[in-house]
Amino acid sequence: MPDPVLEFVDAGLSFGPRPLWSGLSLRVAPGEFVAVLGANGSGKTSMVRSVLGLQRLSAGSVRVGGHPARRGADDIGYVPQQRRIEPLTPMRARDMVGHGLDGHRWGLARHADRAARVAAALDAAGAAEFADMPVGLLSGGEQQRVRIAQALVAEPRLLLCDEPLLSLDLRNQRAITALVDRQRRAKGAAVVFVTHEVNPVLPYVDRVLYLAGGRFRIGTVDEVFTSATLSDLYGAPIEVVTVGDRILVAGIPEANQHEAGARV
């Protein structure tokens, strides 16, 4: 296996006495697509924050590109949760993408080829036509394309996506996941894709990290999404059914009904 882009070693994270997860060891290789699933409160976003250097682990370590996770790392492209931008926001799409290249440099010199790199990232994300439009006037799907261009502009080794499909319709969910997949194949970047729903990423995902009740499972979709595996993870009878090209999960305890793919 090549040197990992992202590595957790015996990592744990707790809030007070409550462990979100512990004993997590995970190596993500260049070009690998890993989906992170779990209920609200299972620690998905906290995991993202630990990779970004914004959240200290309670135990173990996390390394990006062989170095301890830190704020402002150039080898991470970050796609945040999809949230509407206010219509009166004056920033153009190209300005927003440019912040992904040098917005963390606090007034230091810009890249000499900044304009070309911003234009290339917008084009790769299918957002070139929005370059001079105020981002607040774009649709939710269009805004998310601009966020992906912002994440891609620095040509990161790791593309970190935190619930990028929230509030998007099925067409835009499929378009965004396909876009992320094209870019990781073109650039060889690893993808860690946090989501509530496994079905939009099924055509692309290599492995799943599934968090629930302070525990986790790592494996392929076929290994993790079985009745036996999820029943053991939740400590309750869970039924996993495949219908066509979709996975449906039934029987998740009431406290976890926001779980990925749940149909109760």
**Residue-level pLDDT at 112:** 65
In a 10 Å sphere around its CB, with 0-12 CB exposed, 13-18 middle and 19+ buried, how is residue 100 labelled?
buried
Under 8 Å CB-to-CB from 15, ≥6 apart: which residues?
A: none
**Choice between 141 and 11, residue whose per-residue pLDDT is larger:** 11
CA distance 257 to 163: 17
What number is the average pLDDT over the span 230-244? 89
Write down the pLDDT at residue 106. Answer: 45
Query: What pLDDT score was predicted for residue 57?
Result: 95
Q: Which among 225, 163, 219 has a CA at the least distance from the CA of 195?
A: 163
Which pLDDT score, from 0 to 100, does residue 259 have?
A: 39
Name the DSSP class of 124: H
pLDDT digits (tens, 9 = 90+) for 56-96: 999 999 999 999 999 888 889 999 886 778 888 889 999 99
160 CB-near residues (< 8 Å, 6+ apart) = 48, 51, 52, 76, 77, 78, 79, 151, 192
Answer for the pair 97, 118: CB distance below 8 angstroms, yes or no.
Answer: yes
pLDDT of res. 38: 84
Distance between CA atoms of 223 and 7, rounded to whole angstroms?
Answer: 21
How far is it, in rounded angstroms, from Cα 88 to Cα 92? 11
Tell me if 22 sits within 8 A of 241, measured CB to CB.
Answer: no
Interacting residues of 192 by C-beta distance below 8 A, sequence separation 6+: 6, 28, 34, 36, 48, 51, 158, 159, 160, 161
Count of Cβ atoms closer than 10 Å to residue 193 Cβ? 25
Per-residue pLDDT, averaged over 225-253, amounts to 88
8 A C-beta contact, residue 234 and residue 213: yes
- Residue 263, pLDDT score: 30
Instruction: Read off the tokens for 200.
Output: 């939009």
Confirm or reject CATH 3.30.1490.190 for domain 6-223, answering yes or no.
no
Average pLDDT (244-254) is: 82
pLDDT at 37: 92
Mean pLDDT of 36-45: 86
177 neighbors 165 (Cβ within 8 angstroms): yes
The one-character DSSP state at 92 is: B
Q: Are 43 and 21 in contact (CB under 8 A)?
A: yes
Q: Which of 139, 204, 124 is nearest to 172 (CA)?
A: 139
- Arithmetic mean of pLDDT, 17-23: 88
Find the mean pLDDT for residues 224-228. 93
Work out the pLDDT band at 103, boundaries 50, 70, 90: low
pLDDT bucket at 1, cuts 50 / 70 / 90: low
- Mean pLDDT, the chain, whole residue set: 86
Whether the model clears a pTM of 0.85, i.e. scores above it, the answer is yes
Q: Between the ranges 23-37, 150-164, 184-198, where is the mean pLDDT highest?
A: 23-37
The pLDDT confidence band at residue 213, using thresholds 50, 70 and 90, is confident
Residue ranges per domain, the chain? 6-223
Neighbours of 49 (CB within 10 A): 16
